[in-house]
Amino acid sequence: MRSLRAKRKQQDPEFSLNESKRVEALRKKRVQQMSKRDLAAYRRAAAARKQKSREKKQKAKLSGSAKEAKKAYKSPQGLGRATKKTEQLLPKSPRKRREVISHLAKKAGIQVLHDSSSSCTSSASTRSLSAETEKVVKDFFMHMDIAYTAPGMKDEVTVWEKGIKTKKRKFYLTMYLKEAYAIYSERFPVYPISFSAFAKLRPLNVLLMKDTPADQCKCMQHENFTLGLAGLGINYGNDWLQNILCDAENLHGQCWKGECADCGIHRMRENLEETDKAKEASWMSWEKQDNGRLMKIVKSGCFGELQELVMAMMPEFQEHVRVKRIQALSFEEKKKENKVIQMDFAMSYSCEYQNEIQSALWSRDSVTLFTAAIFSGGRCETHLIVSNTSDKGKDSVYTFAKYLAAKAPNDPIIFFTDGPSSEFKNKFIAKLLLILAQEYGKMFEWQYFATSHGKGVVDGVGGAAKSLVRQAIRKNRATAESTSAEIQHAVAHYLKGAGDRDGGRSQRRARANQVEP
């Protein structure tokens, strides 16, 4: 058969072209008759065959370019002059020079045996770290007092890990990276690490302070005090209180309570004694207007007046920070050994259609989102309760808390929430705890975060769920109801892995059968 084809090629110049057309027609006919399973196998084999062909052509190109390089210059002197000119433009650093040369070689189609660019991404200091140290550093970046979870619908970032693209919730650092490194060094002295290695281990979804958008959930007490300090020319940071207190580590000591005569407000007054109190000063402050609205206004006066104002705010602010840190430490400690449930109301979701008429904008329904995170034994299980009620009072809180309490029927439960009086911090909560204790026959506690400092995992649950629902709605041009099954699947898939704050796919698969939709 082979000799016959060779003979036909000699007799007919167009034999090869006609033969290829005949074979192509037979192939298309065979593909049309294939089942879905056979078609998928055929496409995989075709992709592998094409890849092999491309590699073969690339090798031929490399060998050809190597031969052509010998004839590029007529004399060795010409090659030497060109090489010298190129060397003068290369970086002075040997490491950077090797990386540039290897990159140029790859662009020219020359095979590089040792790629220096791959080694520069992970320095020797990072490679020498133990797996336990790397885990401690990455977990540290996720602490509530170091970074906060972005609650918005669009607050997601796409991350490539080991060739797999995943969407993760954004986290924003609440301090500068060097401040975070100083706090890490104090908390984990048994896991030493350099600052450069610490910065490289920052997860890709943990963004720096410079990337933080407009924050609309700040603490009014913190903001007014820091604005007053800014008017005095003082920059407030996480180490500011440590510098004016004798013993900042002991939150129950005399220094934090204002009973020490050598630090706190007394040391601050001494630092400001030499300033000219008669000079003009201006500062900003959040204040409630006559119409009941809060506005940020600009005030002006003398330096001494502002100094006395800041001194008057100092004791209350110091106690506020002390309570905040005690409650944050209590939350971190108790969720390691107890069953802790953190709860909060997310911003209600406005139901919309993909192709919506203009008049429908004013008749949209909204649903209430109640988010929760159950911490137990170092694990986190997130829950999202969707309700069509617009009530966020005691009745809704009782219903949602009772549902979550049923998730741990045998263990004592500690509830953690923020402190709005309309929702959680009121006399009805004591009655709720009594009812739950009588019904389940176990102990219940209810603890609160400091005012405006109750951020955590639950802030990201509502935003991520809204994002998934929004994506499902945009895929369908019909009604919002027709995508309900797809929405439920998307939200359930997210909740299966939301407890893994690093988004690990293996952890999600391991718990796939344990999470209820």
Which tens digits make up the pLDDT trace of 1-30?
677 777 777 777 787 888 888 888 888 888
Q: What is the 3-state secondary structure (H, E, C) of 428-446?
A: HHHHHHHHHHHHHCCCEEE
Q: How far is CA 351 from CA 4, 71, 348, 481, in A?
A: 72, 70, 9, 10
More confident residue, 416 or 487: 416
Residue 284 pLDDT more than 50? yes
Residue 118 pLDDT more than 70? no
DSSP category for residue 351:
P
Residue 425 pLDDT more than 70? yes
Assessment of whether the complete model's pTM goes beyond 0.85 = no
Summarize the confidence of residues 178-196 as an average pLDDT. 86
**CATH of span 338-510:** 3.30.420.10
pLDDT of res. 62? 64
| 255 touches 264 (CB < 8 A) | yes
d(CA 356, CA 354): 6
Task: List the chain domain ranges.
Answer: 2-69, 76-120, 133-211, 224-235+246-325, 338-510
Tell me the pLDDT band of 64, cut-offs 50, 70 and 90: low
Lowest mean pLDDT among 111-115, 317-321, 440-444, 485-489: 485-489
Tell me the pLDDT band of 180, cut-offs 50, 70 and 90: confident
Quick check: helix, strand or coil at residue 339? strand
More confident residue, 476 or 358: 358
DSSP assignment string, 229-272: HHHTT----TTHHHHH-S-SS-TTSHHHHT--SSSTHHHHHHHT
Summarize the confidence of residues 347-357 as an average pLDDT. 70
Residue 355 pLDDT more than 80? no
Summarize the confidence of residues 53-59 as an average pLDDT. 83
Which tens digits make up the pLDDT trace of 324-346?
888 777 777 777 777 888 888 87
Tell me the pLDDT band of 214, cut-offs 50, 70 and 90: low
Residue 73 pLDDT more than 70? yes
Q: What sections of 33-176 are H helices per DSSP?
A: 36-69, 76-89, 94-107, 116-120, 124-127, 131-140
Which tens digits make up the pLDDT trace of 477-515?
445 454 445 455 555 555 554 444 333 444 434 444 443
Burial bucket for residue 53 (CB in 10 Å: 0-12, 13-18, 19+): exposed
Residue 261 pLDDT more than 70? yes
pLDDT of res. 70? 54
pLDDT of res. 362? 73
DSSP category for residue 418:
-
Lowest mean pLDDT among 66-70, 90-94, 261-265, 417-421: 66-70
d(CA 272, CA 267): 9
pLDDT of res. 408? 72
Residue 348 pLDDT more than 50? yes
